[in-house]
Amino acid sequence: MAKNWLVGEGARAIKSDNAADKLDIGRRFPLFAILVAQTNDAGMALLDAVPAYVTARKIEAVLKGDAGEAAGEAGDEGEDSEDAEAEVEEEKPAKKEKAPAAAKEEDPYAGKTAKELYTICKEKKIAVEPKQSVEVYLKAIKKADAAAKAKAPAKKAESDKKPAAKDDEWEI
């Protein structure tokens, strides 16, 4: 059965000479282990002051960017088994947020995932942050598309103007 490491005791274990504890923490909580290994004495004192309900698993979840799991939404605090952690990690990829598919014929971006929309933003050279919601990417893409459409008619109007014919110079 896997140990439920408290933040302070996990930090002390990483700084200690116990290879088995370091291996256990490093394998299960790699981001936590790396950051603790880089911590000075003042940081260690701060980690020792973290309340007992904040575990190394919760800190790892926050570092990975899964704040919902860190808040206790994904599982019970009493779960110590690695099987439960593996189940939670397996569920993560299945949660793909997709754009509303209401008007697929009209909107070429409908039904796309956030990652697909992020790729489209990068292809169109739209400055966006990674790992945002579908709505953020849709808003940025539609704003860029609207700006491009507004610019396109202005350019077309300029190109439609033909230079004045120089028929006067031609004598037939």
Model pLDDT, residue 76: 45
Tokens linked to 122: 């990068």
| DSSP run (H or E) holding 35 | helix 30-37
Angle, alpha carbons 98-91-130 (nearest 5°): 45
Query: What pTM did the predictor assign?
Result: 0.39
CA distance 107 to 138: 10
Tell me the mean pLDDT in the region 88-109: 61
What average pLDDT does this structure show over 50-75? 75
Confidence band of 172 (pLDDT split at 50, 70, 90): low
